[in-house]
Structure 1
């Protein structure tokens, strides 16, 4: 019987959250199922894009946070 894998299975595999047995099954399926392999490659690409995203807040965000902190600390005094 051929097991079908979901997108969640592939994400768990991508983040090394599968059991040893699942890992082997997914590796085998990726080699034998071009459609599943393409889906996995798309997930890998999306992960790389997300990891390369901006890690620095905008100046407006920083100013909003500082303004909020100032208003909260003036209420506590």
Structure 2
């Protein structure tokens, strides 16, 4: 009998945070369940996009942080 897997199970699988037994069960399920395979492919695609994203704060955010830091320094004087 094939177990039903959740989106959370697939995310754990993608990040290799599961046991070897769970991994084998998911591998078998992915071969038999096209809907699960589709969800898996979507999640893998999102994971790849997140991993390659160039995340940097905006200049305004940096200025806000620096201003806040300066105000803390002035209070300590």
Q: Give the Cα separation in 2 of the matches to 1:2 and 1:13.
A: 16
> How many angstroms does 1:54 deviate by?
2.7
Question: Could you state the TM-score of these two structures normalised by the residue count of structure 1?
Answer: 0.93
Unaligned residue ranges in structure 2 (runs of 5+): none
Q: How many residues of Structure 1 are paired with residues of Structure 2 in the alignment?
A: 77
What residue number does 1:6 align with?
6
CA root-mean-square deviation:
0.9
Question: Could you state the TM-score of these two structures normalised by the residue count of structure 2?
Answer: 0.93
What residue number does 2:19 align with?
19
> How many angstroms does 1:55 deviate by?
2.1
What residue number does 2:50 align with?
50
Unaligned residue ranges in structure 1 (runs of 5+): none
> How many angstroms does 1:35 deviate by?
0.6
